[in-house]
Amino acid sequence: MLTFEKVLSFVVLFSATITATVLAKEQDPSCPGSPAWKNAKCKMSIDFKEPCHIVQSEINLRLTSASFVDPHNGGTYSQISSQEGEVKGSRLTANRKWTDLLDFAFISTNEGSTCTVTACSESQVFSILDFSTNYCNLRNLYCNSSDGCTPVQYDLTYEENYVSCGQNKKQNCIAKVSSS
């Protein structure tokens, strides 16, 4: 007989299984992580022609300068931490609804004359399509004057390699509509 207790214990077991599945979601150590069971993200590796301290400085300047204007709908960047070879930050959308987290790791190449950066941006809420927002979150911190960006101090030269960044339309990154 299907008693109320049986139904209840089934429901409890079922939700425990779901919780365990969510907690077991695979975590990429080079990404910030997200509490959502499914979320949009962008992970890239970017090769810069400049040394790491220059690249890291420019990314930190754009994260922290009051004078820097995010060209993607005017979001607000914040620096969470910066130490040698590693920067963590966040970006809040102009409508102040959504915060994405960003991680950067800097590795010197060619005896310190150039730099390879592993960058990852993740949405913190359930999301599938992000219209390149996670990509733009990262790109707008290093894009150069030829891209239509306004560097704070250093005009960087780079090449992007997409690791897990399906939505990467650079045309989306410079947009003045203040909605997303």
Ligand X SMILES: *[C@@H]1O[C@H](CO)[C@@H](O)[C@H](O)[C@H]1NC(C)=O
- Contacts with ligand X by CB under 6 A lie at 144-147, 155, 157-158
Sign of the torsion formed by the C-alpha atoms of 160, 39, 34 and 69: positive
Residue 102's CB is within 10 A of a number of other CB atoms, namely 26
CB-nearer residue toward ligand X: 144 or 180 = 144
Which of 31-64 are b and which e, b meaning 16 or more Cβ less than 10 Å from the residue's Cβ?
bbbbeeeebbbbbbbbebebbbeebbbbbbbbbe
Q: Is the CB of residue 58 less than 8 Å from the CB of residue 149?
A: no
CB-nearer residue toward ligand X: 28 or 155 = 155
Chain center to CA of 156: 19
CB-nearer residue toward ligand X: 68 or 154 = 154
What is the closest distance, in whole angstroms, from the C-beta atom of residue 149 to ligand X in the complex? 9
- Locate 27 and state its tokens: 């975590």
Whole-number Å distance between alpha carbons of 122 and 43:
9
What is the closest distance, in whole angstroms, from the C-beta atom of residue 160 to ligand X in the complex? 7
For the chain, give the number of residues. Answer: 180
What is the closest distance, in whole angstroms, from the C-beta atom of residue 162 to ligand X in the complex? 13
What is the closest distance, in whole angstroms, from the C-beta atom of residue 145 to ligand X in the complex? 5
CB-nearer residue toward ligand X: 27 or 146 = 146
Query: Which residues have C-beta within 8 Å of that of residue 33, sequence separation ≥ 6?
Result: 27, 101, 122
What is the closest distance, in whole angstroms, from the C-beta atom of residue 68 to ligand X in the complex? 17
CB-nearer residue toward ligand X: 40 or 141 = 141
